[in-house]
Amino acid sequence: MTYELIEVEQRGPVGIIRKNRPEKLNAWSRAMAAEEQDAVTNFNNDPEVAAIVFAGNGRAYCAGLDLQQQQNDVESGDASRRAGAADEHDETWTEFCTSSKPLIAAVHGYAVGVGVTTILPFDFRIAGESAQFGFRFVKMGLLPEAASTTLLPRLVGAGRALDWCLTGRFVGPQEALESGLIRDVAPDDELVDRAVALGEELAQNPDSTMRRVKSLFLQNQLETNIGLVQQREGEALEWAMQTPEHAEAIAAFLEKRPAKFR
């Protein structure tokens, strides 16, 4: 696929995907989403890549839905298809992120609406000092999507999530950090480097193990049957003990050297 709305690069073991519609504050479109998903798939298939960073060019990470596209869809009678396509993307994207190599969002400027809900399934979110998160659906007469009514309360708690979604107010980096929405705050000019450094840290771990850990968390985070949780963990542990990565870790420990997983 030829990329027109994103830029892709690789720094060592870290893939970087940059939204590239700065003139529209990187407003979300179906075409951009398709390019991003293709780029993630390519990085997931590259054994040299351990983690994937998302960032945005220009003054914002993503200012939300492309309203011009939405208006065009309404005028053409295509709004229902647009909504259907968004629903399909939401489901696919959430599951896709969960099964991916670790995903890191590096957010500066505005991350609004779909610009913030699409990073909730990510594994890490780092904010620049200029970041402003906005679950502003209510301001547009719309409703939260992309599984955010489940994912956001898990991250920040039900009360805070409802506050943000009912008021539609902007949330700055300090509140986002205190709430658990983000992992860290960095100066804007150091933001991507900070995210890449985290990706390099993750690169010291085996891909298959990290992805299995993600799968276990997804399966078990709402499970009330502790016996079933332990069963799943036991099965995963049995699988892990038979992997080449585990054998390499043992050998590296005994030989007093760093393990080499890629």
pLDDT in tens, 91-149: 588 889 999 999 999 999 999 999 999 999 999 999 999 999 999 999 999 999 999 99
Asked if residue 261 is part of any domain, the answer here is no
Cβ-based neighbours of 54, under 8 Å, separated by 6 or more:
17, 18, 19, 36, 103, 104, 105, 106, 119, 122
Whether residue 211 sits in one domain with residue 114:
no
Whether residue 243 sits in one domain with residue 138:
no
Out of 187, 202, 217, pick the residue that ends a domain: 202
Asked if residue 244 is part of any domain, the answer here is yes
Asked if residue 195 is part of any domain, the answer here is yes
Answering whether pTM is above 0.85, one says yes
Whether residue 154 sits in one domain with residue 43:
yes
Whether residue 192 sits in one domain with residue 76:
yes
Asked if residue 127 is part of any domain, the answer here is yes
Provide the 8-state DSSP code for 50: -
Place of tokens 């890629």: 262
Q: Considering only CA atoms, which of 130, 104, 102 is closest in space to residue 182? A: 104
The beta-strand segments (E) located in 29-123 are 51-56, 103-107, 110-112
Whether residue 91 sits in one domain with residue 40:
yes
Q: Find the CATH number of the domain harbouring 121.
A: 3.90.226.10
Asked if residue 262 is part of any domain, the answer here is no
Whether residue 213 sits in one domain with residue 194:
no
Asked if residue 259 is part of any domain, the answer here is no
Q: Considering only CA atoms, which of 9, 94, 103 is closest in space to residue 57? A: 9
41 vs 37: CA distance, rounded Å: 6
pLDDT of residue 68: 73
| Residue ranges making up the domain that contains 76 | 6-202
Whether residue 146 sits in one domain with residue 234:
no
Whether residue 231 sits in one domain with residue 168:
no
Query: What percentage of residues in the chain have a pLDDT greater than 70?
Result: 91
pLDDT of residue 67: 76
Asked if residue 260 is part of any domain, the answer here is no
110 vs 62: CA distance, rounded Å: 6
Mean pLDDT of 228-235: 96
